[in-house]
Amino acid sequence: MITSHNLGFPRIGAERELKFAQETYWKGQSSLADLKAVGAELRRQNWQTQASLDLVPVGDFAFYDQMLDMSFTLGNLPERVRGYEGDLLDNYFRVARGRSAPQAMGSNPEGVAAGEMTKWFDTNYHYIVPEFTAGSEFKLDAARLVDQIREAKAVGVNVKPVIVGPVTYLALGKAKDDSDNLALLPKLLTVYQQLLETVANEGCEWIQVDESILVTELESAWQKAFETAYQALSTSKVKILLTTYFGPLLANLPLVAALPVAGVHLDAANAREEVATLIQKLPADRVLSLGVINGRNIWKTDLNGLLDWLEPIAKQLGDRLWIAPSCSLLHVPVDLDSEKKLDGEIKSWLAFAKQKLEELRVVKQALAGGRGSVEAELKANQAAIASRRQSLRVNNPAVKAAVAKIDAKLGERKSEFPKRAEKQAAILKLPKFPTTTIGSFPQTADIRRARNQFKAGKIDETSYTAAMENEIARCVREQEALGLDVFVHGEAERNDMVEYFGEQLDGYAFSEFGWVQSYGSRCVKPPILFGDISRPKPMTVRWIKYAQSLTKKPMKGMLTGPVTILNWSFVRDDQPRSVSCKQIALAIRDEVLDLEKAGVQVIQIDEAALREGLPLRRFQWKEYLDWAVESFRIAANGVSDSTQIHTHMCYSEFNDIIEAIAQMDADAITIETSRSDMELLEAFETFKYPNDIGPGVYDIHSPNIPTEKHIVGLMQKAAERIPAERLWVNPDCGLKTRQWEEVIPALTNMVAAAKTLRVTT
Ligand code: GLN
Ligand code: ZN
């Protein structure tokens, strides 16, 4: 009999119950017992939802992050949070976010430095980075896992605990003293051995050990670490399912096949081509788990197509075959059934976590009892797949023709930067060290209230527009008073920088409850890109025109770039991402040209998510960057020489992408730098980046107000690396999460600093 299982289930709850429970607790409005009860209830529901599976994951739930749970299980707590009394969960929140609920902070109300957070592989999920030093010691604390194993057993499901594997744990952690993480492996393995022992004593037959680092390039020392680690763990009584996901194993495949584990899980949605080789290389007593349902997208699986491929494999492998989603379902929303407003046709093409498990049940049944035993389900699936393939809402011949017509010239500016800069300077007449902001101004409670009322039908469009224009007018007045040089309209009318555009583009759909955990209690609701993208009408022009009508200063048109729109959406699986990106690029290009026609002199196209789209494997970077840069160029570069194009990127690692940034050829780029003390300008300096740069001088993630002196100091450092005549003065990022009371003094200091710099530098 084939075994079906799951690698992990979303923990946030279908209506984000966990988020609300966390946040109420952190605000001091509920007790720890309340929070724990919500967690227990979510786990219970999740196990029940998964009850049709032969093995159900346990330990995938976390009150903040599974990696942080692992750190606590291993007793790997940063020094600064040791010695606290009270509940362990409060200490856990200290590491996660610097503090727990006020009532739990005791003698340390200020909290501690939170653990660093970074992206989990190429997903939008963020984990808390484990911290190491040469002297790190580990000590097993299996209580959380053991309790959950017992809870799950009480629900009546077949338990398979899930843990992060030792090598991935070390590889994703950071040595604070620059010591070698790998040197800790022997100590760490002792604790993992104890952990496996504990799990075996709880009566578990299998344990899922996630080693997703195996889908990246590994140096030989790390390959060797896998051999050492799994040799050491092979004596355990519990059987290990070594789990990899998010891509193919490539050069690591022989290594994986040879490890002394009881089974291996491969992401067969992204590495189907490796299945045959793995079967051939895997010893005959090993289980092979195939991740056949894509855990990263929201599309229905073509079940008949899958079965055509899978049936012969099932025959060949018999009991040795396990089936599962490709990765944890953490990365998809919980339940499509919650969606009541979604267009019926589009909804029929989708599957969220719950629906993906139902697909798995059907596949298992078809393999066990023949396709005839699930005839109705397969028929319905086939109809949905066919409807999506043929739908005119998906396929727009005009868009396909426009993409086919793209040539190298489309993304080219008329002249080189120096010539453009001259023409722009003649029109804009900006001072040295021009000041500007990144786009958004505070999204006040008034703005959000007006939008909610409008969405709920409580106010009409005219009143909503008036309310937004009011905000824009205020924003212009404030900038006038501050004396900034290039203005923005403030983005009051935008809920989110991607959703706002998605809502106005054809080919996009929106869910009501399609939330996915990003980090801690933060969830995102990526729009669903389902069809060929087109722009029925201008999206931003009227707001920018209105804002421009209120001032003589240049008003920046503000757009989100194609790569960012793509990277923050659920994308199509029926065409390459590069094609979807170019379609979006053409739509944004039309908007850019309409803004230009409306007299807008400066247009900013944000590419906040360009870097995070880099593939997991370095050898694929060039291909990605090529089409990403081309998409930006298509969007931006249709303008005349005298129109100034800005772009913005809010992160601080540019070494890997500096060449791509130069190819984008924006007249000015604003970036996040204030925390790095201008050191990251080194990438621009070394590369001799030729165009204008605005290194951020105001850390907008902090409530602190930078002083004039501090800003002058930062800019002087910048001027040591970049010629002063090409420097702009601006904050790190948009100001929407800040308060006006913070923004005004901070920008006052920024403008004062620019004035000082003009006379001293
Ligand atoms: N223009 C956007 C804003 O100011 C940019 C946001 C971002 O880069 N994340 O809000
Ligand atoms: Zn930003």
Three-state secondary structure string covering 414-459: CCCHHHHHHHHHHHHCCCCCCEECCCECCCCHHHHHHHHHHHCCCC
Query: 650 C-alpha to center of ligand 2: Å?
Result: 4
Query: What is the model's pLDDT at position 85?
Result: 81
- Residues making up the annotated binding site for L-methionine are 438-440, 491, 606
- Of 441, 497, 671, the residue with max ligand 1 atoms within 8 A of its CB, to mutate for a pocket test, comes to 497
Half-sphere exposure of 196 (CA within 13 A, CB side): 26
User: How does strand 117-119 pair with strand 126-128?
Assistant: antiparallel
Nearest to 109, CA basis, from 94, 131, 130, 92: 94
Q: How distant is the alpha carbon of residue 428 from its chain centre?
A: 37
Regions of the chain short of the pLDDT cut 50: none
Q: Which residue puts its alpha carbon closest to atom 3 of ligand 1?
A: 734
Q: Which residue puts its alpha carbon closest to atom 7 of ligand 1?
A: 608
Q: Which residue puts its alpha carbon closest to atom 1 of ligand 1?
A: 439
- Residues making up the annotated binding site for L-homocysteine are 438-440, 491, 606
pTM above 0.90, yes or no: yes
- Dihedrals phi, psi of 701, to nearest 5 degrees: -80, -5
Q: Which ligand is nearest to the CA of 736?
A: 1
SS3 544: helix
Known catalytic residues are 701
Per residue in 563-617, pLDDT tens?
999 999 999 999 999 999 999 999 999 999 999 999 999 999 999 999 999 999 9
Nearest to 348, CA basis, from 312, 387, 374: 387
Task: Measure the CA–CA gap between 586 and 670, rounded to whole angstroms.
Answer: 23
Query: 606 C-alpha to center of ligand 1: Å?
Result: 7
Query: 492 C-alpha to center of ligand 2: Å?
Result: 16
User: Nearest-5° angle of CA 651, CA 657, CA 659?
Assistant: 135
Distances, alpha carbon 702 to alpha carbons 645, 652, 674, 698, 705, in Å: 28, 16, 11, 9, 8
Query: What is the model's pLDDT at position 680?
Result: 85
Query: What is the model's pLDDT at position 84?
Result: 85
Which atom belonging to ligand 1 lies closest to the Cα atom of 648?
8
Q: Which residue puts its alpha carbon closest to atom 4 of ligand 1?
A: 734
Ligand 1 environment, Cβ below 6 A: 438-440, 491, 497, 558, 606, 608, 648, 650, 733-734, 736
Query: What is the model's pLDDT at position 579?
Result: 98
Query: 523 C-alpha to center of ligand 2: Å?
Result: 18
Query: What is the model's pLDDT at position 623?
Result: 98
